[in-house]
């Protein structure tokens, strides 16, 4: 019997977030097919908890941090190199731009096969020289990955337009989630509908805009529950209080009962200025909620405007408030949008489909390595 291939999944941080949700879903789906290990900066966090629950080894990368820091970045590269030398994975799967860049430099063109999943290009969330710098960095590092996976067609088009990588190296695999066969039964539309937002309280999420939109005329009925935490929490609380919304806006922090909170809500909202393909939106749609979100990144591939919710221009407070107003004024249509969103997830964003496509990609590049080895021996 052939041994299972060894897979190492690397993420920058183990905290709650989209890349971490993806990594947890991927390793869960592939656990029976691969010997899996996970590395990230911990030592605690949502991804650490997921690995513990699944019985998957987690390695705390002490020097791998979000912000650039020359000494720590060099130390992180050494840590990653030593981890790979110790584990000898057949495939290294990378998530988030910081971990992906450092790992690719650390590994170079070794015998390891490298797959980089882009959860939103850094150069798309920046302007001017900063954007050009990040695009150039990705362009220089792209030959150090055997495959680059974009989570949306939008991101692949952006990569091709900026010449980030050869088109043959670029792949699109949409994120996927588990969903119930039927969405929760919600009954009639309440007088005080509940709006949920799941997000890290930091850029590029625009929670200050959301608070401002809730202060607009015609959306007074909405109560907002924000799930998540981050450095912008105090600024959001201050804006909420300044707007007189303390009794309507609740910051819940990190929660373990997100599914239950979604099931008890009436709609989901995500104002943001840059995205790949947010898991929070897919999870809300799987729960049968209509979604209001910004028209950035892969969000229009998730949310069909006017069918499963509304997509609005980023940074537009009036458009955001108008979409929320429409949901409350047209409750029958809103419930119908939620049902349509659930069906869209079931058809296009299934977890099983995502896992199968990654497995196919991994096996394909492993097969290329095997064939190359045979040719060298011959």
What is the phi-psi region of residue 108: left when phi exceeds 0, alpha when psi lies from -120 to 50, beta otherwise? left
Give the tens place of pLDDT for each residue, 221-253: 999 999 999 999 999 999 999 999 999 999 999
What mean pLDDT is predicted for residues 334-341?
98
Please check whether residue 350 is in contact with residue 180, taking contact to mean a CB–CB distance below 8 angstroms: no
The CATH code belonging to domain 194-348 is 3.40.50.2000
Give the pLDDT confidence score for residue 3 in this predicted structure: 85
Give the pLDDT confidence score for residue 291 in this predicted structure: 98
Give the pLDDT confidence score for residue 169 in this predicted structure: 92
Q: What three-state secondary structure class fits 197? A: strand
The answer to whether domain 6-176+351-377 has CATH 3.40.50.720 is no
The span from the CA of 200 to the CA of 34, in Å, is 31
Q: How many CA atoms lie within 13 A of 343 on its CB side?
A: 10
Give the tens place of pLDDT for each residue, 179-214: 999 999 999 999 999 999 999 999 999 999 999 999
Q: Where in the chain is the domain with CATH 3.40.50.2000?
A: 6-176+351-377, 194-348
């Amino acid at each position: 019997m052939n041994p299972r291939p060894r897979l190492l999944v690397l993420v920058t941080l183990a905290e709650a977030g989209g890349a971490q949700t993806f990594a947890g879903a991927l390793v869960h789906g592939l656990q029976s097919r691969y010997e899996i290990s996970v590395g990230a900066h911990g030592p605690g966090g949502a991804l650490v908890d997921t690995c513990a629950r699944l019985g998957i080894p987690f390695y705390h990368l002490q020097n791998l941090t979000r912000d650039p820091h020359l000494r720590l970045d060099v130390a992180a590269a050494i840590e990653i190199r030593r981890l790979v030398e110790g584990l000898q994975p057949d495939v290294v799967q990378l998530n988030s731009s910081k971990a992906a860049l450092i790992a690719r430099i650390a590994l170079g063109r070794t015998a390891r096969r490298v797959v980089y999943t882009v959860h939103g290009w850094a150069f798309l969330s920046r302007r001017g020289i900063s954007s050009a710098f990040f695009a150039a960095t990705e362009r220089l590092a792209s030959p150090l990955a055997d495959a680059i996976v974009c989570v949306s067609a939008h991101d692949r088009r952006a990569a091709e337009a900026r010449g980030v990588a050869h088109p043959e190296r670029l792949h699109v695999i949409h994120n996927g989630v588990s969903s119930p066969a039927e969405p929760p039964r919600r009954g009639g539309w309440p007088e005080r509908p509940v709006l949920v937002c799941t997000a890290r309280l930091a850029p590029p999420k625009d929670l200050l805009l959301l608070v401002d939109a809730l202060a607009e005329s015609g959306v007074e009925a909405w109560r907002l529950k924000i799930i998540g935490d981050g450095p912008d929490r105090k600024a959001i609380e201050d804006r909420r209080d300044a707007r007189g919304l303390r009794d309507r806006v609740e910051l819940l922090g990190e929660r373990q009962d997100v599914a239950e909170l979604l099931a008890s809500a009436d709609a989901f909202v995500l104002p943001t200025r840059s995205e790949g393909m947010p898991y929070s939106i897919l999870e809300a749609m799987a729960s049968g909620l209509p979604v209001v979100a910004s028209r950035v990144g892969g969000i229009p591939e998730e949310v069909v405007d006017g069918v499963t919710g509304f997509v609005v221009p980023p940074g537009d407070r009036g458009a955001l408030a108008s979409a929320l107003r429409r949901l409350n004024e047209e409750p029958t249509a809103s419930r119908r949008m939620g049902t349509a969103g659930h069906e869209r997830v079931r058809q296009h964003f299934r977890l099983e489909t995502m896992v199968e496509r990654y497995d196919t990609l991994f096996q394909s590049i492993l097969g290329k390595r095997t064939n190359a080895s045979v040719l060298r021996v011959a």
